[in-house]
Amino acid sequence: MANKLLRKTFMEPLGKNNPVFVQILGICSTLAVTNKLQNTMVMVLGVMFTTALSSLTISLLRNHIPSRIRMMVETMVIATFVIIVDIVLKAFYPEMWKQLGPYVGLIITNCIIMGRIEAFALQNKPMLSLVDGLASGLGYAYVLLAIAFVRELLGTGSLWGYQILGSWWTNWSIMIMPPGGFFVLAIIIWIIREKFMKEAKND
C-alpha cells in the first residue's frame, strides 16, 4: 500500500500531471537558458535540488508553521536552498555561474517549487513530500532538456558543446534567439496535449 502510494506520487508529475504541460508553471526562470544543453542541465539540477529539499523541509515543519505567515516561511526556506546552489556553483564552476547570471537566483520565484509546497508538502509526510518534490523536478527537467536539445541542435548544429552536424548544416539562428524558445515550447506542448487528449478519449 505504502509502496503503491509512493509510486503514484513519483509517476504522476512525470506523466499526466506534469507541471509544464498541464499547469504551464515555472518556465520563467529556466526557459532563458535553454539555448544550451549544458546550461539547462545545471539549471534543472538546481531546480530539482531546491524543489526536493524545500518540500522535505516544509513537510518536516508543517505542524509548526502558523498558517498566516506560511508564505514567508516557505520563501525563506526556498531562498536558503537557492543560495546554497548559488554558492556551490560560484565556488566550483565559476564560468558556468557567470553564464547563468541572475537566473540561478530566479529559481526562488519558480512557481513549481512554491506550488508543490502549497499543494503537497503542507499536507503530507516528509518522505512522500521529498519524492513528490523530486518527481516534480524531474518532470520539469526532461521537458526543459528536450527544449534545449532542439534549440541547441537546430540553432548551432551542436550538442553539449560538441559539433554534431557537419558543415552542410545551416544554423537556424532564430532557435538560439528568444523567439525560438517560445516556439519550441509551444510545439512540444501541442504535441503532448494532442497525444494525451487522444488517450483521454480512448479511456
Partner 1 sequence: MTDSLLPFSVFFASIFTGNILLTNYLGMCSFLSVSKELKTSTGLGMAVIFVMATTTPLNWIVYQYLLIPFGLEYLRFIVFIIVIAAFVQLTEMTLERYSEPLYQSLGIFLPLITVNCAILGVSLFMVIREYTLLTSFFFGLGSGIGWFIAIIAMAGIRQKLKNAKIPPGLEGPGIALVIAGFMAMAFMGFSGMIALS
Question: For residue 158, what are the β-bridge partners?
Answer: 163
Q: For residues 13 and 26, which CB has a smaller minimum distance to partner 1 in the complex? A: 26
Interface mask toward partner 1 for 28-47; x: CB under 8 A: xx-xx---------------
Q: For residues 100 and 135, which CB has a smaller minimum distance to partner 1 in the complex? A: 100
Q: For residues 2 and 200, which CB has a smaller minimum distance to partner 1 in the complex? A: 200
Q: How far is the CB of 114 from partner 1 (least distance, A)?
A: 7
Q: For residues 33 and 130, which CB has a smaller minimum distance to partner 1 in the complex? A: 33
Question: Cell numbers 565559476 correspond to what residue?
Answer: 94
Q: Is 82 in the site for partner 1 (CB under 8 A)?
A: yes
Q: Is 76 in the site for partner 1 (CB under 8 A)?
A: yes
Q: Could you give the count of Cα atoms lying within 13 Å of 180 in the half-sphere of its Cβ?
A: 22
CB 25 within 8 A of CB 112: yes
User: For the stretch 106-142, what's the b/e string if a residue is b when 16 or more beta carbons lie within 10 angstroms of its beta carbon?
Assistant: bbbebbbbbbbbeebbbebebebbbbbbbbbbbbbbe
